[in-house]
Structure 1
Amino acid sequence: MKPAISRREFGPLLAGAALFVTGVLGAAPAAAQSTAFRQAVAEAAASDRDIAEFYRANGYRAIWTGEGAGDAARRQALIRALSQADAHGLPVARYDLGGLMARMGDARSMRDLGLIEVELSRTYLQYARDLQSGILIPSQIDEGIKREVSYRDRTAYLIDMKEKSPRDVLRALPPQSQEYARLMKEKLHLEHLIAQGGWGPAVPADVLKPGQESGAVIALRDRLIAMGYLDRSASRSYDARLQQAVQAFQADHGLEPDGVAGASTLAALNIPASERLKSVIVAMERERWLNGDRGARHILVNLTDFSARILDNDIVTFRTRAVVGMNASGRRSPEFSDAMEYMVINPTWHVPRSIAVQEYLPQMQANPNAVSHLRLYDSRGREVSRGAVNFGAYNARTFPFAIKQPPSNSNALGLVKFMFPNKYNIYLHDTPHKSLFDREKRDFSHGCIRLQQPFEFAYELLSRQESDPMGYFHSVLGTGRETYVNLKAHVPVHIIYRTAFTLAQGRTQYRGDVYGRDARIWEALDKAGVSLTAVQG
C-alpha cells in the first residue's frame, strides 16, 4: 500500500499549504473577512464541545490558517506529522491528508478558510489522541485487558499547539520509551524485508536434528540466513553452525534452546514476516496504552514470555521464569498496572471463594477429610472442626466458611508472596510445584503469577533497604511465622502481554499469543484502518 504522501510530493505540498492562505486574503475588506471567518469557525466547531470551547476562548481567531509565521509553522508541522503517520502504525486514511490538502487548494473565501481551520483542528486532535493514547479502547477488545489509559484533555492539545513550538508538541506525543523507538525500527525493518520477499519458503519438515542432510535442512539453513541468524553457507548438513543458529532463534522466541528443530521451533520459524509485523504494530498500540512514566525501577511481568523482570533505567537487573494463568475462562491473568507495597514471608493462603466452592467443596462433600491440609473458619474467624460440618447441606452459593492453608513448605503460595493490592486479587508468589517451570509454555495457575526464583526476587527488592537482604529475609523466614515486610519505596508493577518486545541489546523477541488477545487487537486495528505497508526499495 502506498503511503498517503510520498517524500517527493512533500516539498510541493508544503509550498501549496503556504500559498493557499495568501490566495484567499485580499478578496474582501478586512472587517468583512474577519466576520465571515469567525462565523464559519463558530459554525463548524459547534458540533464539538472541546473545539468550540477553545475557539470561543481564543476569540475565534486562527491558529492554522492565518498569514503569520506561527500559523505557517503549525500547518507545516501538522502536515509533516500526518504524512508520517504510517511509521507509527496509525490508520492513515482516518486523517485524510490528501482530502485536507485538496480542500485547502480549493479555498476561495474567508468562509472556506474558517471551515478548513476547524477541520485542521479536528484532524490534529484525532491524530494527537491516537498517537499518545492509542487507537483502541483496551477494555472493548478483551475483558482480560484491564489497562486504564490516561486520556489528556482535548483542549490542552490545542492550547499547547497555539502556545508552544509545534514541532516540540508533536514530537512529545508518542511514547518516549526506548521500547517504542526500537519497535518503530523493527517495523521499518520488517516492511523492507516483506517488500523484498520476506524470509523465503517455509521449512517442510516435522522435526530436524543435528547430523541430518536433506532438502528440508537446506530450507532451514536458507531461512535462518534470511533471518540473520546464520552467515551465508553452502553446507547441506545440520552441522554445528546450523545448530548454534537454531539455538539463537529458539532463545529469541522463548523456546527451549536445545538446537533441535522440533515441532514448536519449526512452527515459530515458519511464521511469515507479515505476521511478525502485525505483532510489532500491536505492540506499538499497547505501548501507547502505557504511555507514561513506568518508574526508574519497575517490575515487568510479560504473560506471553512467562517471565517476571525487574528493570532499572531500562536495564534488566533481575529475571525469573513465571507460571501464569491457564488459558481457560476465569483463570487467564489480567493486564494492569499497580505498585508493589509489601511482601508476606511464610504466608497463609486465603483460598479464593471461587476455588473454595468450585473445587474444594465437591471434594469435601465426597469425603469430609479430603484436602486435609486446608482449614475451615466461620464468619467470626474461628476455626471450625470438619466433624461438625455437614458438607452435603451446602452448595456453592450457601457455603458459609472461609478456607485457609497455614504457613508451611507445602503451602500453595510457597514461602513468600509479593503484594500490590488490587481489585483483581492478583499477586506474585512462590510455589511448591517447581517442575512446571521446566515447561516451554507455562500457563497453569488460577491467575496469579508464580515465580521460579522467589527468594532471589525478594533479595533484589530488599536490596534497596537492607544491608544484608539475604540474611534479613532468611531470619524472618526461619521464624515460621507469617510476617509482613513493607517496601520502603513502592515499586510499580506492570503486567503486560507482548508477543513482540525488544531488548536494550539484541534482536526483537517474539512469543506465542497464549490467550489470543493480540489477534483480537490486530483484528480491531485492521477494522480501524491500520494496514501492513511494505516500503519499496
Structure 2
Amino acid sequence: MTRSPTRRLTLKMMAAGAASFVLPNFGAGQANAAVTALKQSIAEAAARDEALSAFYRERNYKPVFVGNGDGRRRGALLKALASSGDHGLPTKAYDADGLKAAMKAARTPSDQGRVEVQAAQRFLDYADHMRSGVLNPRSVDSSLVMDVPRYDRASTIDAFSKSNPAAFLKKMAPRKAEYVRLQKEKMNLEKLLGKGGWGEKIQAKSLKPGQSGGAVVQLRNRMIRMGYMRKSASQTYDAAIQSAVQQFQVNHGLAPDGVAGASTIAQINTDVQERLQQVLVAMERQRWNSRPTEKKHVWVNIPDFHVDIMNNGKSTFRSRVVVGKNTSDRRTPEFSDTMEFMVINPSWYVPRSIVTKEYLPLLKRNKGAAGQLQIIGSNGRPVNRANINFAQYNERNFPYSMKQPPSKGNALGLVKFMFPNKYNIYLHDTPSKSLFGRESRAFSHGCVRVHKPFDFAYALLANQEKDPEGFFQGVLRTKQERRVDLREPLPVHIVYYTAWVDAKGRAHYRDDVYNRDARIFAGLSRAGVSLRSVAS
C-alpha cells in the first residue's frame, strides 16, 4: 500500500516521539498545509477558553508546547506537573502521564493542536494553583474574607512562552521562607508516615515526673520519634522526658509545666496524618497569602491566641489575645488592613447586633438593665430610658443605639487600636483579664482583646514619641477620649495558621478552633489533594 504525502508527513513529525512538530523536507505547499491544519486545530481547541483564545490569536496560533525547539518547554512542564505533589497540589488533576501519552500519540497536525491547548490548560491550572491556591477561600468558609491575588491567564502563558521554562515554573511557588519550611516539614511527615508514624500511643490519662511503667515508656518513645529527645532506655519519667515534654508544650501552645496532663497527652497522641493535613492546609494558606509580607507589621494568629509586632522576621512585641467565640456570628474573620490610629479612653459604641440581640431583651424585662450604657437617640444625644417603651420594639425597628462612656469598666478597656474595616474588627483592651489565663481563648464577640494593651501602645508609639509611656499615661490621666494617629501606619494581618515552622526549624501546631482547617482540607481532598507516604 502506498502511503499518501500527508501520512508520510505526520509520521516524520512524530520522529522525536513526544509531540514534536518537525516539518520535513517536502514542498512548501505540503508544509504550509500542515502548519495551517495545526493552527486551525489550536484555534478550535482554544475557542472555549477566552484567555487562551486571545493568547493564541495574538501570536497567530504559533504553538508553545509542540513544534521545533519546544522539547525543553514540554519537559519542564511535565516535570513540574509530575512533582506537584511536593507542594500538596492535586497531582491527578494535572495528569502528567496522561498528557505525556497524549503528546506521544498525536499523529496529525489536528491532534497536535488539541494536545497543545490541553498542555496550555494544564499549565494554567498548575500556575493558578501554585500562585493563588487550589481553592477559593470564600467558597470554603464565609469568614475567609482575605483578598487572594489571581493572575491574568493570557499574560501568564505569554510570559512563560518567552521565559526560561524551568526557572519560570520554579519561581511560581510562594517565595517565602515560611513556605519552604512547611514544605520541609511536609516531607518529614511523609517519611514518618511511611515508617508507621510515631509509634504506640500513650495509654494513660495523665503522667507526671517520677512515675514509671509502660505508659511512661510509650511517652518516652513518642518523644524520641518526634525528635524531642535522644534515644533512652529509661522507664522513669526523668528530667530528660520532662524537658522534652516542656519543649513539646511550648510548640503546641500549652502551659510548659513538664507534666503530661490530659491536654498534653491528647496532643502527643495526635496521628501523623492529622499533622500532615494541617501542614497541607497551611501551605494552601501560604499560597492564598503569597504576597511578600512587609518588614514591619502586626500579626494576629487566631488559633495561636497571640498578637506580635514583627520586624524583619522577628517578634519585637508579643501578647496573649482573646479572639471571637466559635459561633457563626462571632468568629474573628481573616483579613489584612492598615492600623492608622489608637483611641485612648475610648467610648464603646455597642454594635447593632449586640444591642438588638442581647441588650434589647434585657431592657424589655428591666429598663434599668445594663445601666453602664447610655441610650442614644438619632440626634446623637443620650435619651432617658425611663421614657422609652422598650416592649414596642424588636430587632428590626429598635431606633436607638447604645454607648458606654470612657471608664475602667468600659468593654473596650482604656485603649483601642483601629484599622477601619467593613467587618468592624479591631484590637482593644478589656476589663475582663481572667480569660487570658486559659490555654484556649475564643470568647469575644469577634474583636481581638489584648492582654498587654499598654505595652502594645508603647511599642506602636516608639517611632513618634521620645517617651512613649509618659505620653500615653499623660493622655490616660485626662480620662478624656482622644484619638492618636500613627505617623507610620502599620499593616495588620489577622490570619489562621494551625501549623507553622519557625526560623529554627521547630514545627508548631495548634487546635483548629473554628474547624476551618477541616473544611479547607475537605475541599482540597475533593479537588484531588491526598496524603502520601514516602519510603526513606
Q: For this structure pair, what is the TM-score category when the shorter chain's length is used for normalisation?
A: over 0.9
- Conserved in 2, the CA contact under 8 Å of 1:147 and 1:335? yes
Secondary structure at the aligned position of 2:398 is classed as: coil
- Conserved in 1, the CA contact under 8 Å of 2:181 and 2:505? no
* Matching residue of 2:445: 446
- Whole-angstrom CA distance in 2 between matches of 1:119 and 1:93: 15
Q: Deviation at 1:76?
A: 2.2
Of residues 312-321 and 39-48 in structure 1, the stretch that sits farther from structure 2 once superposed is: 312-321
Question: For residues 132-190 of structure 1, what are the alpha-carbon distances to aligned partners after superposition, in whole Å with 9 as ceiling and x for unaligned?
Answer: 00111111111211122111111111111122222332122121111111110100110
Opposite residue 100 of structure 1, the aligned amino acid is L
- Whole-angstrom CA distance in 1 between matches of 2:463 and 2:136: 37
- Whole-angstrom CA distance in 2 between matches of 1:351 and 1:135: 39
- Structure 1 residues 298 and 66, CA gap change in structure 2 (3 angstroms): same
- Structure 1 residues 507 and 365, CA gap change in structure 2 (3 angstroms): same
Opposite residue 389 of structure 1, the aligned amino acid is I
* Matching residue of 1:306: 305
- Whole-angstrom CA distance in 2 between matches of 1:27 and 1:186: 54
Say if 2:48 is the partner of 1:47.
Answer: yes
Secondary structure at the aligned position of 2:341 is classed as: strand
- Structure 1 residues 393 and 51, CA gap change in structure 2 (3 angstroms): same
Q: Deviation at 1:54?
A: 0.2
- Structure 1 residues 23 and 368, CA gap change in structure 2 (3 angstroms): closer
Say if 2:484 is the partner of 1:498.
Answer: no
* Matching residue of 1:4: none
Opposite residue 263 of structure 1, the aligned amino acid is A
- Whole-angstrom CA distance in 1 between matches of 2:413 and 2:338: 22
Q: Deviation at 1:409?
A: 0.9
Opposite residue 50 of structure 1, the aligned amino acid is A
Question: For residues 243-290 of structure 1, what are the alpha-carbon distances to aligned partners after superposition, in whole Å with 9 as ceiling and x for unaligned?
Answer: 111111111001111111111111111011111000000000011111
Say if 2:37 is the partner of 1:36.
Answer: yes
- Conserved in 1, the CA contact under 8 Å of 2:360 and 2:390? yes
- Conserved in 1, the CA contact under 8 Å of 2:412 and 2:431? yes
Q: Deviation at 1:232?
A: 1.0
Unaligned runs of 5+ in 1: 1-15
TM-score by length of 1: 0.94
* Matching residue of 2:213: 214
Question: For residues 190-225 of structure 1, what are the alpha-carbon distances to aligned partners after superposition, in whole Å with 9 as ceiling and x for unaligned?
Answer: 001111111001101111111111211110111111
Opposite residue 99 of structure 1, the aligned amino acid is G
Q: Deviation at 1:475?
A: 2.0
* Matching residue of 2:339: 340
Matches of residues 307-322 of structure 1 in structure 2 within 5 Å? 307-322=306-321
Of residues 146-155 and 167-176 in structure 1, the stretch that sits farther from structure 2 once superposed is: 167-176
Say if 2:67 is the partner of 1:66.
Answer: yes
Question: For residues 345-389 of structure 1, what are the alpha-carbon distances to aligned partners after superposition, in whole Å with 9 as ceiling and x for unaligned?
Answer: 111100001111211122222222222111111000011112222
- Structure 1 residues 411 and 111, CA gap change in structure 2 (3 angstroms): same
* Matching residue of 2:9: none
Matches of residues 167-316 of structure 1 in structure 2 within 5 Å? 167-316=166-315
- Conserved in 2, the CA contact under 8 Å of 1:294 and 1:492? no
* Matching residue of 2:10: none
* Matching residue of 2:5: none
Opposite residue 125 of structure 1, the aligned amino acid is L
Secondary structure at the aligned position of 2:332 is classed as: coil
Matches of residues 362-401 of structure 1 in structure 2 within 5 Å? 362-401=361-400
Secondary structure at the aligned position of 2:478 is classed as: coil
Secondary structure at the aligned position of 1:488 is classed as: strand
Q: Deviation at 1:315?
A: 1.6
- Structure 1 residues 23 and 46, CA gap change in structure 2 (3 angstroms): closer
* Matching residue of 1:5: none
- Whole-angstrom CA distance in 1 between matches of 2:334 and 2:468: 30
- Whole-angstrom CA distance in 2 between matches of 1:183 and 1:22: 38
Secondary structure at the aligned position of 1:478 is classed as: helix
Secondary structure at the aligned position of 1:304 is classed as: helix
- Whole-angstrom CA distance in 1 between matches of 2:121 and 2:19: 19
- Whole-angstrom CA distance in 2 between matches of 1:344 and 1:506: 39
- Whole-angstrom CA distance in 1 between matches of 2:164 and 2:339: 38
- Whole-angstrom CA distance in 1 between matches of 2:488 and 2:153: 34
- Whole-angstrom CA distance in 2 between matches of 1:48 and 1:372: 63
- Whole-angstrom CA distance in 2 between matches of 1:65 and 1:439: 61
- Conserved in 1, the CA contact under 8 Å of 2:22 and 2:68? no
- Whole-angstrom CA distance in 1 between matches of 2:446 and 2:183: 32
- Conserved in 2, the CA contact under 8 Å of 1:24 and 1:108? no
Of residues 264-273 and 170-179 in structure 1, the stretch that sits farther from structure 2 once superposed is: 170-179
- Structure 1 residues 22 and 87, CA gap change in structure 2 (3 angstroms): closer
- Whole-angstrom CA distance in 1 between matches of 2:476 and 2:166: 56
- Conserved in 1, the CA contact under 8 Å of 2:22 and 2:67? no
Opposite residue 54 of structure 2, the aligned amino acid is E
- Whole-angstrom CA distance in 2 between matches of 1:468 and 1:57: 62
- Conserved in 2, the CA contact under 8 Å of 1:279 and 1:518? yes
Aligned length: 520
Matches of residues 83-102 of structure 1 in structure 2 within 5 Å? 83-102=82-101
Opposite residue 104 of structure 1, the aligned amino acid is M
* Matching residue of 2:58: 57
- The runs of at least 4 consecutive aligned structure 1 residues that moved more than 3 Å come to 16-19, 21-25
- Conserved in 2, the CA contact under 8 Å of 1:407 and 1:482? yes
- Whole-angstrom CA distance in 2 between matches of 1:333 and 1:17: 60
- Conserved in 2, the CA contact under 8 Å of 1:17 and 1:76? no
* Matching residue of 1:468: 467
Of residues 487-496 and 523-532 in structure 1, the stretch that sits farther from structure 2 once superposed is: 487-496
- Conserved in 1, the CA contact under 8 Å of 2:19 and 2:105? no
- Conserved in 1, the CA contact under 8 Å of 2:21 and 2:67? no
- Conserved in 2, the CA contact under 8 Å of 1:368 and 1:386? yes
Say if 2:21 is the partner of 1:20.
Answer: no
* Matching residue of 1:80: 79
* Matching residue of 2:4: none
Question: For residues 462-490 of structure 1, what are the alpha-carbon distances to aligned partners after superposition, in whole Å with 9 as ceiling and x for unaligned?
Answer: 22222222222222222211111111222
* Matching residue of 2:525: 526
Secondary structure at the aligned position of 2:61 is classed as: coil
- Whole-angstrom CA distance in 2 between matches of 1:19 and 1:453: 67
Q: Deviation at 1:498?
A: 1.1
Q: Deviation at 1:21?
A: 4.5
Opposite residue 339 of structure 2, the aligned amino acid is M
Secondary structure at the aligned position of 2:18 is classed as: helix
Q: Deviation at 1:455?
A: 1.2
Secondary structure at the aligned position of 1:170 is classed as: helix
- Whole-angstrom CA distance in 2 between matches of 1:97 and 1:24: 23
Secondary structure at the aligned position of 2:107 is classed as: coil
- Whole-angstrom CA distance in 2 between matches of 1:119 and 1:112: 11
Unaligned runs of 5+ in 2: 1-13
Opposite residue 329 of structure 1, the aligned amino acid is S
- Whole-angstrom CA distance in 2 between matches of 1:22 and 1:373: 79
- Whole-angstrom CA distance in 1 between matches of 2:415 and 2:501: 30
Secondary structure at the aligned position of 1:286 is classed as: helix
- Conserved in 2, the CA contact under 8 Å of 1:25 and 1:110? no
- Conserved in 1, the CA contact under 8 Å of 2:76 and 2:166? yes
* Matching residue of 1:123: 122
- Whole-angstrom CA distance in 2 between matches of 1:17 and 1:245: 62
- Whole-angstrom CA distance in 1 between matches of 2:274 and 2:99: 33
- Whole-angstrom CA distance in 1 between matches of 2:470 and 2:96: 63
Secondary structure at the aligned position of 2:319 is classed as: strand
Secondary structure at the aligned position of 1:490 is classed as: strand
